[in-house]
Structure 1
Amino acid sequence: MSASTTAQRKATDQDHLQVGGHSPRVLLSRVGGQNLSLLAALTLVLCFFGVLNPDYLSWSNIEVIAEAATITGLLAVVQTVVIICGALDISVGSQAGLASVISAIAFTATASNAFLGIGTAMVVGALIGLFNGAVIVYGRVNAVIATLAGLAAYKGVAQLISDGRAQGYVLNDTLFVFLGRGRIAGLPAMVWLLLGVSACLHVLLKRTDIGRNVYALGGNDTAARLTGINLNKYLLAVYTLSGIIASLAGILLTARTGSGQPVSGSEGLELQAITAAALGGCALKGGKGGVGGTLLAVALLGALQNGLTVQGINTFWQNIAQGLLLVCAVIIQQRRNGARAVGLPA
């Protein structure tokens, strides 16, 4: 057998391995090092708390983790799109609280019409998102400052129209009961909704020209503008999308708790969403990230929070752990990107 024939056979065998997905390098490139790290961390968390408490890995507790993570997951996946675009939306938690109140109030005011209650909240969410985008684009306000103002303002509006109390009662309606407590193929309806929204956003980002333009804007907005991409229109659209998904999270909050919640259940969600997006691989400067990594990070945070709760750990420590995770995620990103230390020359 000639040397050339042997070389061809080796190359063919290597191709077969790669096609079959057996090459570690191919697997790593497809799954991503960030996602593999999150999978490893999630496995460690599940095993650790599973050893401490065997009931932790029971199917009923897994469902509890999934349901609790759904609202955060919705906000995290849309925050992923916003961050990839090179922006940030700190007001999503307050938007969810406001949508929760509006959906319950509209439901009660329209003779218990769930569709009108949900539709009203979604329209208000879209208008809020559009308003955020307009302040940033036409008011020339930094995205962090604009949405930080929204964080306070929308929370205040929710408290004002609700007098600071839970509003309405929606658990006498079939649709709200299904959204909050229904099951499809053994999984909570809320989880299916999160998976559906995530799949749509993943396709939007990875399989369409719109998604490619979003990555381009976050990576280098000047170059993107020179290629003809309208930055202002994309920012308005992305923030409108953020408002719609945030309102959907608020509707699920109403369905899960049975009433509109102005603050309880929505406070702190913006930090959780940003933490999940950063842990999932989103570069806070924009241009990098994906929905899959964010979902893994949401699962990791949900498993960790549930495990600490099951072990009776004070919620104050849970907040500390969440803050530390966010800092660690950003440090890892900065190291990978080769960012210089503050105060040192470039």
Structure 2
Amino acid sequence: MAVQYYLMNFATLIGLLLLILIFGVIKPKFLDIDNVFNIMRQASINGLLALGMTFVVLTAGIDLSVGSILGASGIFAALVAQNHALPWFVPMLVGLGVGLLLGSINGIVISFLSVPAFVATLGMLSVARGITYLASDAQPVPGLGDDFLQIGGGNVGIVPIPVFIVAAAFLICYLLLYRIKYGRYVFGVGGNISAAKVSGINVRYIIWSVYMLSGVLAGLAGVVLTSRVSSGLAQAGQNYETDAIAAVVMGGTSLSGGKGRLWGTIVGVMVIAVLNNGLDMLAVSSYWQLIIKGIIIVAAVIVDSVNSSKE
């Protein structure tokens, strides 16, 4: 029973350690400190998206628009960052504001207008992408300030700044989910929405708030990515929602809501980042990488369904 417990609760972590071992044996350079920090820098984008997605999925929802919100936030941040007279935090706040606005719209449409999350966020995926193309005329936005470029491309010592950003976001999300009543309300809404209403939880507010949080973190991811690639890209964030959802599910958060682990999401993010980096070092075709990730997502959902049926 103890073995079964550890396999059920730590399967993703065990899988991550096995991946690191396998890639390390096949390609010793995989374990070089520079490559380790490169993996962490790359994982930071999906880490921010997946943290927000965890809250959404815990309420039995889904957010297909995070990639497009990332793109829109990055473009508007880049447009402001072209003005080198402004301090670095101004374009950052603009990116966060765009994410907050678009995420709030998602939450209002879903919670107050009763539009299914799949439909609402699918619509926002298209709307946000259209806004991005209109704002940038579908062209890159270069010439960003040097201070702004440090957000995604700089280091503190040898540690990339994005790692600290994700760590801070994780800490805030951890406190929200496990240290105050809000977190219990999130779990309650996802576990049994009818019981949550009867117990006095403002269900509409909770649902609205998780999409708002998801939007803010997608906006922050857009700022970090734009800074890292040194320009605003209209196509940035395309299909990023797939990796975010995969990380959340692999980390042990149930798609049916009410059950999940924030630390598991981070482990899921690292599994995807390690897999991408390792397969790139092995020169595996990007097409095969898509197939492999698709299989992993389906397998994670199957495991989630099996575990849920046993409860």
TM-score range, shorter chain: over 0.9
User: In the alignment, is residue 295 of structure 1 matched against residue 244 of structure 2?
Assistant: no
Please say if residues 52 and 215 of structure 2, whose CA atoms lie closer than 8 Å, have aligned partners that are also in contact: no
Structure 2-normalised TM-score? 0.95
- For 1:148, the equivalent position in structure 2 comes to 122
How is 1:115-130 mapped onto 2 (pairs within 5 angstroms)? 115-130=89-104
Report how far residue 82 of structure 1 moved: 0.8
Q: Which aligned pairs between 1:300-319 and structure 2 lie closer than 5 A?
A: 300-319=271-290
What secondary structure is seen at the aligned counterpart in 1 of 2:35? helix
Structure 1 unaligned residues grouped into runs of 5+: 1-23, 340-346
Equivalent residue for 1:51?
25
CA distance in 2, matches of 1:200, 1:113: 25
What SS class does the counterpart of residue 82 from structure 2 fall into? Answer: helix
Q: Is the 8 A contact 2:72 2:98 kept in 1?
A: no
Contact residue 215 and residue 288 of structure 1 kept, 8 A: yes
Amino acid at match of 1:66: M
Partner of 1:12: none
Query: Following the alignment from structure 1 to structure 2, what is the Cα–Cα distance between the partners of residues 115 and 124?
Result: 14
The corresponding residue for 1:160 is: 134
Gaps of 5+ in 2: none
Letter in 2 for 1:173: D
Deviates more, 1:106-115 or 1:73-82: 106-115
The 1:35/1:310 distance shift into structure 2, 3 A limit, reads: farther
**C-alpha displacement of 1:238:** 1.2
CA distance in 2, matches of 1:315, 1:35: 30
- Structure 1 residue 109, shift from structure 2 partner: 4.9
Per-residue deviation, residues 224-259 of structure 1 (Å, max 9, x unmatched): 000000111111111111111110000001110111
Q: Distance in 2 between matches of 1:183 and 1:105?
A: 24
Match of 1:190 among 139, 162, 166: 162
CA shift digits 1:29-60 (9 cap, x unpaired): 8xx65452122111111111111111011111
Task: Give the root-mean-square deviation of aligned CA atoms.
Answer: 2.0
- Tell me the distance in 2 between the aligned counterparts of 1:147 and 1:231: 19
Supply the AA of the counterpart residue of 1:318: Q
The C-alpha deviation readout for 1:273-323, integer Å capped at 9, x for no partner, is 000000000110110112100000111111011010001011111111111
Q: Which residue does 2:244 correspond to in 1?
A: 273
Instruction: Give the aligned residue type for 1:144.
Output: F
What TM-score do the two structures reach when normalised by structure 1?
0.86
SS class of match (2:309)? coil
Query: Matched residue pairs, number?
Result: 311
Structure 1 residue identity aligned to 2:178 = K
Distance in 1, matches of 2:192 and 2:60, equals 9
Q: Give the share of equivalent positions with the same residue, in percent.
A: 34
